[in-house]
Amino acid sequence: MAEAMIEFQNVTKQYQGGQAAVDGLTMSIDKGAITVFVGPSGCGKTTSLRMINRMVEPTSGVITVGGADITSVPAPQLRRSMGYVMQSSGLMPHRSVLDNIATVPRLNGVSKADARKRAQELLDVVGLASSLGKRYPSQLSGGQQQRVGVARALAADPPVLLMDEPFSAVDPVVRDELQQELLRLQRDLAKTIVFVTHDIDEATVLGDKVAVFGLGGKLAQYAAPEEILRAPANDFVASFVGRDRGFRHLGFSPSDGVTIHPVRPVTPEQLRQEGSSGDWRLVVDDALRPLGWAGPGPAGAEPVMVAGGSLFRKGDTLRRALDAALSSPSGFGVAVDDDGRAAGLIAAAEVLAVIESDRNIRHGGL
């Protein structure tokens, strides 16, 4: 599918006197996409990321960027071709916001005036008022500082962005905002972004692909986020992804794309008369309000009613659609209208499909 931008070939990093921080990592990172490294603390995410710009030198193995071995250019030059953003903004407290943003162009020999002009433009790109340019970093909020950090990383227009938990230190509301902003930027810029986080929610929101690292620096699974959520490769990934996690962002997505299938519900009366059948039947009261599901059974046998899952109201978020579908014993979520009457069914598989295409749209794919 996508062209590879960064390749790890059997890369191992062993710090002095420890077990391997990264162990035989082989992976290919797509060009123009966001690849997220996620995993528990100490599993080698930062180490892997920093090997890409040679802040950490691998013990063995080869890393290539754009097909060229990264050791073929001097490290400072390599680093200037990669933006780097980390958890603490890492801004220089003694330089104005503008001059901070202008750092890498200045290192590349761009004149001060030109670099500042570019910095001024970037303030706008990351959604900051241009009047903030004259301030010192300490005069900005944490979220603003991270935006400046992103602007600085973009200043020399590098093809690659390395981001190490850039949004972990800001509060959840600002974090959501910054995540959406990054996605918006990425639609225009199409950088190759490697993003480190230990938050699976963040990984699924941002990642075109997610690499789950296991303890001991082993790559446990590397796939699109939906696949990791739907089919964790092993118990470790499953427990890391968690039962209900990874879907937080769906709380913000509309469910317009989810098809509501017609349903022929039965009242308890009708159910008793008809007896069990081979299918799940939705049971409703006289006002058509859902009561539960009758499980499939041998024809004519006494039907058993099972409590239904959560209900899905038309216009709810994707998150509720998924909850309704997944919590239903029949695999179909019950959609109700504003008066609480059963209006139809939604299928879990279809909700997942909508989530997937929704993500593709957000990422500018398809």
Partner 1 sequence: MEWFLANSAEVFSLAGQHLVLAILPMIFGVIIAVPLAQLGRQNRGLRSVVLTGSSLLYTIPSLALFIILPTILGTRILDPVNVVVALTIYAVALLVRAALDAFDSVDEDLRQSAVAMGFKPFARFMQIDLPLSLPVLFAGLRVVSVSNISLVSVAALLGIGNLGMLFTSGLQRDFVTEVVVGIIAILILALLMDSILVLLERLLTPWTRAAAASGAGTDAGTGQAKPGTAAAALRLSRPEAGGGTA
Which position among 22, 36, 37, 46 is part of the footprint of Mg ion (CB under 5 A)?
Answer: 46
| Rounded CA separation 293/256 (Å) | 25
Nearer CB in complex with partner 1: 53/330: 53
| Rounded CA separation 95/79 (Å) | 21
- CB 82, CB 160: distance < 8 Å: yes
Residue 55 interacts with partner 1 (CB under 8 A): yes or no: yes
Which position among 94, 112, 184, 245 is part of the footprint of partner 1 (CB under 8 A)?
Answer: 94
Query: Which of 6, 8, 11, 9 lies closest to 60 in space, CA to CA?
Result: 11
Q: CA 151 → CA 103, 280, 286, 290, distances in Å?
A: 11, 55, 60, 52
Query: Which of 210, 154, 152, 142 lies closest to 178 in space, CA to CA?
Result: 142
Query: Which of 214, 178, 159, 182 lies closest to 45 in space, CA to CA?
Result: 214
Residues 146-175: x/- map of binding to partner 1 (CB under 8 A)?
------x---------x-------------
**Residue 322 CB, nearest distance to partner 1 (Å)?**
38
Could you tell which of ligand ATP, Mg ion, partner 1, none binds residue 47, using a CB distance below 5 to 8 A set by kind? ligand ATP
Q: CA 200 → CA 162, 240, 241, distances in Å?
A: 18, 8, 6
**Residue 212 CB, nearest distance to Mg ion (Å)?**
15
**Residue 55 CB, nearest distance to partner 1 (Å)?**
6
Could you tell which of ligand ATP, partner 1, Mg ion, none binds residue 41, using a CB distance below 5 to 8 A set by kind? ligand ATP
- DSSP assignment of 165-185, as one string? STTTTS-HHHHHHHHHHHHHH
Nearer CB in complex with Mg ion: 46/103: 46
Q: Would you state the structure tokens that stand for residue 199, as one six-digit string?
A: 């938050």
Positive or negative, the Cα torsion across 53, 66, 85, 153? positive
| Rounded CA separation 363/356 (Å) | 11
Nearer CB in complex with partner 1: 107/306: 107
Nearer CB in complex with partner 1: 103/328: 103
Could you tell which of partner 1, Mg ion, ligand ATP, none binds residue 104, using a CB distance below 5 to 8 A set by kind? partner 1
Residues 32-51: x/- map of binding to ligand ATP (CB under 6 A)?
-------x-xxxxxxx----
- CB 152, CB 100: distance < 8 Å: yes
**Residue 39 CB, nearest distance to ligand ATP (Å)?**
6
Give the footprint of ligand ATP on this chain (CB under 6 A). 15, 18, 21, 39, 41-47, 198
Give the footprint of Mg ion on this chain (CB under 5 A). 46
Give the footprint of partner 1 on this chain (CB under 8 A). 53, 55, 75-80, 82, 84, 86-88, 90-95, 103-104, 107, 135-139, 152, 162
